[in-house]
């Protein structure tokens, strides 16, 4: 499965989130029914499926056993990597406030035939397969947010050094300096936590707490960097010419995807502070 992706011969999308389940992945309703002559037939729908406009394969999370028939909610799920058969999958792009480089879509699956060899791992153990990749995803998103934040911060700092008002660069004013300096420190802390999480992941050690913490620190710091960039630019920050308004819109996604800030805080409270599980 991997070599064609690495060579760029295949383009894949990821089908996990559903409109009625959201982050409660165990309650997805997309179902893969086993056929008597082998393989599966999948029916259901997914939302926020990135790159589905161009994908030729899909990593698809389904149920293979109804949740009510499972001992635990995490049982009875299976993961498939299979052809994106557009005769069986209807794709509708979702218009959104940013992230124009990648299309986001709602997809509707009707009678998609999937061979058994396209299943990843054992039937019913898909949740374990899914979790294996989530920490890596958190780390990658955190790293991207750090890079995004540092880039936007440098744009704000450059403007502050060059923009002259009342006969002096606005960057000479502490009301401009201090917020930008604070953002720089927050980004440095987020970067270190990202490296810590990545190191643990590479060593095969548990890193869920660190990965989620990095994701939250980096996302909020990137948002603050973009917000401060708009304010540093003043009226021009509201203009499209300087692009910082676009960066600000892009930064909002950090509080929502791939996991909400609130769910991360609940997870940290449980795992780091020993508080009762709240979700």
Q: With bands split at pLDDT 50, 70 and 90, how would you rate the model's confidence at 279? A: confident
Last residue of a domain, one of 123, 142, 175: 123
182 and 149 both lie in a single domain: yes
- Tell me, yes or no, whether 92 and 206 share the same domain: no
Q: Does residue 278 fall inside a structural domain?
A: no
Last residue of a domain, one of 123, 140, 156: 123
If asked whether residues 58 and 171 sit together in one domain, one would say no
Mean pLDDT of 250-258: 94
Q: Is residue 183 part of a domain?
A: yes
For residues 269 and 135, membership in a common domain is answered with yes
Do residues 62 and 165 share a domain? no
Distance, CA of 50 to CA of 105 (rounded, Å) = 6
Q: Do the domain assignments include residue 89?
A: yes
Predicted local distance difference test score (pLDDT) of residue 208: 96
Residue at 56 is within a domain? yes
Q: Mind listing the pLDDT tens digit for each residue in 75-85?
A: 999 999 999 99
Considering 74, 107, 123, which residue would you say is the last residue of a domain?
A: 123
Given pLDDT bands bounded at 50, 70 and 90, which one contains residue 23? Answer: confident
Q: Please tell me the predicted confidence (pLDDT) of residue 103.
A: 96
User: Alpha helix (H) ranges present in the chain?
Assistant: 2-6, 126-162, 174-202, 208-232, 244-251, 261-273
Note whether 213 and 190 are within 8 A (CB).
Answer: no
State the CATH number of the domain containing residue 7.
Answer: 2.40.110.10
User: What does pTM read for this prediction?
Assistant: 0.91
- 194 and 263 in a single domain? The answer is yes
Tell whether 99 and 162 lie within a shared domain: no
Q: Both 133 and 31 in a single domain?
A: no
- Residue 181 to residues 51, 169, 174, 175, 219, Cα–Cα distance (Å): 37, 16, 10, 11, 17
* pLDDT number for residue 22: 83
| Mean local confidence (pLDDT), 191-210 | 97
| Phi, psi angles (nearest 5°) of residue 147 | -60, -40
> For position 204, which CATH number holds?
1.20.140.10
Residue 279 in domain: no
In a domain, 193, yes or no: yes
Query: Within this chain, do residues 87 and 33 fall inside the same structural domain, yes or no?
Result: yes
Cα separation values, 70 from 35, 78, 120, Å: 20, 13, 20
Range of the domain at 44: 2-123
Above pLDDT 70, what percent of the chain?
A: 100
How high does pLDDT run on average in the chain? 96
Query: 127-139 pLDDT, tens per residue?
Result: 999 988 899 999 9
Domains contained in the chain, number: 2
Summarize the confidence of residues 152-157 as an average pLDDT: 98
- Give kind and range of the element (H or E) at residue 48: none
Judge if 225 and 253 occupy the same domain. yes
Are residues 117 and 143 located together in one domain of the fold? Answer: no
Q: Please indicate, yes or no, whether residues 153 and 260 belong to a single structural domain of this protein.
A: yes
pLDDT digits (tens, 9 = 90+) for 24-79: 899 999 999 999 999 999 999 999 999 999 999 999 999 999 999 999 999 999 99
């Amino acid at each position: 499965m991997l070599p064609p992706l690495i060579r760029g011969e295949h383009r894949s999308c990821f089908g996990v989130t559903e409109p009625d389940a959201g982050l409660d992945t165990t309650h997805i309703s997309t179902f893969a029914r086993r056929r008597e002559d082998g393989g599966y037939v999948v029916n259901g729908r997914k939302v926020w499926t990135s790159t589905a406009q161009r994908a030729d394969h899909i990593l698809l999370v389904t149920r293979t056993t109804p949740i009510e028939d499972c001992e635990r909610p995490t049982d009875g799920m299976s993961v498939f990597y299979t052809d994106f058969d557009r005769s069986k999958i209807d794709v509708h792009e979702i218009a959104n406030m940013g992230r124009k480089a990648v299309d986001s879509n709602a997809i509707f699956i009707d009678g998609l035939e999937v061979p058994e060899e396209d299943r990843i791992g054992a039937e019913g153990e898909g949740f374990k397969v899914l979790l294996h990749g989530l920490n890596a995803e958190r780390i990658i998103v955190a790293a991207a947010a750090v890079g995004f934040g540092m880039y936007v911060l440098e744009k704000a700092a450059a403007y502050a050094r060059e923009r002259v008002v009342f006969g002096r660069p606005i960057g000479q004013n502490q009301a401009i300096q201090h917020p930008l300096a604070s953002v720089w420190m927050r980004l440095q802390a987020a970067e270190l936590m990202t490296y810590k999480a990545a190191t643990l992941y590479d060593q095969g050690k548990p890193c869920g707490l660190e990965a989620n913490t990095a994701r939250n620190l980096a996302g909020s710091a990137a948002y603050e960097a973009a917000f401060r960039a708009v304010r540093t630019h003043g009226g021009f920050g509201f203009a499209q010419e300087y692009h910082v308004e676009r960066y600000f819109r892009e930064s909002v996604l950090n509080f929502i995807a791939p996991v909400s800030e609130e769910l991360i805080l609940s997870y940290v409270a449980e795992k780091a502070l020993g508080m009762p599980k709240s979700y």
